[in-house]
Copies of this chain bind each other. A is one copy, B any other.
Amino acid sequence: MRALEGQKRVTIENVSPQIDCGKYPIKRTINESVNVVADIFVDGHDQIKATLVFRKITKGSPKWQKTPMRFVGNDRWEGSFTPDAEGHYEYSIEAWVDHFSTWQHGLEKKYEAKQDIGVELLQGIEFFETALENAPRGARKSLQQARDLLKSNSHEAKSVSFALSEGVSSMMAPFYDRDKVSQYKLLPLKVERKLALFSAWYEFFPRSTSDEEGRHGTFKDCERILPEIAEMGFDIVYLPPIHPIGTSNRKGLNNATTANEGDPGSPWAIGGKEGGHKAIHPELGDFDDFASLVQKAEELGLHIALDFAIQCSPDHPYIKAHPDWFKWRPDGTIQYAENPPKKYQDVLPVNFETEDWENLWKELKSIVDFWIKKGVRVFRVDNPHTKPFKFWEWMIREVHDKNPDIIFLAEAFTRPRVMERLAKVGFNQSYTYFTWRNSKEEFQTYLTELTKTPVREYFRPNFWPNTPDILPISLEEKGEAHFLIRLSLAATLSSNYGIYGPLFELGLNKAYPGKEEYIDSEKYEIKNWDWDRQTKIKTLITKLNRIRKENPALQTTWNIEFQETDNPELICYSKIDRENDNKILVVVSLDGEYTQSGWIKVPLGEFGLNESEPFVLHDLISGERYSWKGLWNFVELRPKEMPVHLFRLETL
């Protein structure tokens, strides 16, 4: 038993948030607050105090910052703090018996019960005397005055009211016995850049950007496209792999097992005679072109995101240099990717069970480091759930230690525990099941799970209506209105969202029926898209991205509150940013074919409204203003016009 351990009487338990007993950090972005609750109590009837302590972990031993906790009831306490810089933090709780307020409490009760308080006043004098012994020079005068007032014993009522005053409480607050403070274990917090929570992604294939039919697009062509993407208001431009593509077992058009002469192959079959993950596919350009693209993007306020796909074509240089990083079969052939009975012969998985795993890990991390040096700050990671969690935990921590602003998006569409785990071990953003949620109830259940359970502490959703791998049933062979619906939902339910373009804004949706796969996918061929065509979808994208940037309430996912409607096809939710008095109400019709109308319940209380006075909602998409009154109000949405209202409450 340690010297004073037995005298630390206060219990601190059930502290939340914490992930897996503090094994993994909770996550915040800069200026996002951390609200901590705990059960804190002591034996007996003594009064206690509790403080939330936190600090950024830096070299040296930075000072703890402290903020008092408030008693809520039933032994529950709460407090909060707001980290203001990127990096690793730790936080904890300190609590102690507060003998002075215990004394105040007893004095008050006895005085009220008209009992003798002579001894209590003597005890009060002792408190002030002891404080005086430990007080800094500046505090002594007040303490002496306090002591003298109690000593003078001239006017009991005056002494009591003085002893119980706010002023005396604050004056005595610093004088508690620090040896006897109970401290909860340290809990980790990781603070990331705002972009980790608020971002709009645009994915496109750089090879499909040329303006001449059949010519392979280049980084230079991409530069021509970028202003249009910036104009639409995106933050991140994500490129599928830009590395040399293997020729052995190259896939043909529409994923054919054999390629014809001239077929470009899948960019995810990484590595050829020109190099591997640290090389550029020659037809796209060279490193100067890439540097120019990054610079152009930067000028437009865009981040270039690369795809980190740990897999090799049979022609990747690693295979000769590190044969032991791959699995060899008893017949002497190399193990290709498979999930029996499916086979992916153009791709070889890396064997993480190799005895040489430490060098493998280092090499893989060096790929990320390589591209960071080339100016890349954002990575979309391909299928991270088929590589060990411990690798990601190590790799992301190492990268973030030097570059805390790097963002990793986990492209894992798999079981919930696996997706959650990837977020726990460090991924900043995650793909989600949004793509397959369709009914009002599905959205409400899913968003509640994402935002109102402990998952909210570490898993940042990124909502994608489509990807090159997925043309969901909700868009397949459907009209424009369906695109407007999925877009509005993605961009307002989640503060991170992305689209795969230009197919999305062009409303392209030819799929193998029921298979969710694009016909003639550009994964296997070069396309010449009509990049300039203006569409209603494009107009809405541009508006939504602007509205998101202008309305802080749309820059977080955690503040969503669903509101009742009397029509299952109408989904309604509010988002409020109190600090900026920004109050948003979204109504989306889930019906892309027919007009839907109904009554929606306005969160009057949260909006600071009362039942009797009218208020004005400004539809930021149409520009129209609606004067409403009371709890229930009527809406009608015509999909051919606009299937969504995005209201902001007008403030007077």
Contacts and interface: CB of A to CB of B under 8 A. Distances in A.
A329 B127 CA distance: 12
Nearest to A75: B417
A372 B1 CA distance: 24
A105 B340 contact: yes
Interface stretch (A4-12, A544-552, A635-643): A4-12
A436 interface: no
A339 B415 contact: no
Nearest to A19: B13
Interface stretch (A110-118, A190-198, A223-231, A618-626): A110-118
B119 A416 contact: no
Contacts of A22: 21
Interface residues of A, number: 58
A416 B13 CA distance: 13
Interface stretch (A351-359, A468-476, A479-487): A351-359
Contacts of A391: 6
A24 to B, nearest CB: 10
A341 B421 contact: no
A330 B417 contact: no
Nearest to A105: B340
B39 A417 contact: yes
Contacts of A330: 119, 122-123, 125-126
A21 B15 CA distance: 11
Interface in A376-398: 385-391, 394
Contacts of A74: 415-417
Interface in A456-498: none
A532 interface: no
Contact of A388 (B43, B110, B357, B389): B43
A339 B125 CA distance: 21
A609 interface: no
B9 A352 contact: yes
A126 to B, nearest CB: 6
Interface string A324-357: 0000011101000011110000000000110001
A341 B41 CA distance: 21
A390 B122 contact: no
A106 interface: yes
A63 interface: no
Given A122-B329, A122-B331, A394-B1, A41 B415 contact: yes
A262 interface: no
Given A20-B13, A358-B6, A41 B390 contact: no
B126 A417 contact: no
A36 interface: no
B415 A7 contact: no
Nearest to A391: B6
A505 to B, nearest CB: 35
A544 to B, nearest CB: 35
A362 to B, nearest CB: 11
A287 interface: no
Given A6-B391, A7-B357, A341 B119 contact: no
Contacts of A109: 340-341
A110 B342 CA distance: 9
Interface in A535-561: none
Interface string A39-59: 101011100000000000000
A236 to B, nearest CB: 26
Contacts of A1: 358, 394
Nearest to A39: B417
27 contacts: A1-B358, A1-B394, A6-B357, A6-B388, A6-B394, A7-B353, A7-B357, A9-B353, A9-B390, A13-B421, A43-B386, A43-B387, A43-B418, A44-B386, A44-B387, A74-B416, A74-B417, A75-B417, A105-B340, A110-B340, A112-B341, A118-B331, A119-B330, A119-B331, A123-B330, A126-B330, A180-B353
Interface of A: 1, 5-9, 11, 13, 20-22, 39, 41, 43-45, 74-75, 105-106, 109-110, 112-113, 115, 118-119, 122-123, 125-126, 180, 329-331, 333, 338-341, 352-353, 357-358, 361, 385-391, 394, 415-418, 421
4 A-B pairs with the lowest CB-CB distances in the bound complex, closest first: A122-B330, A113-B341, A21-B21, A109-B340
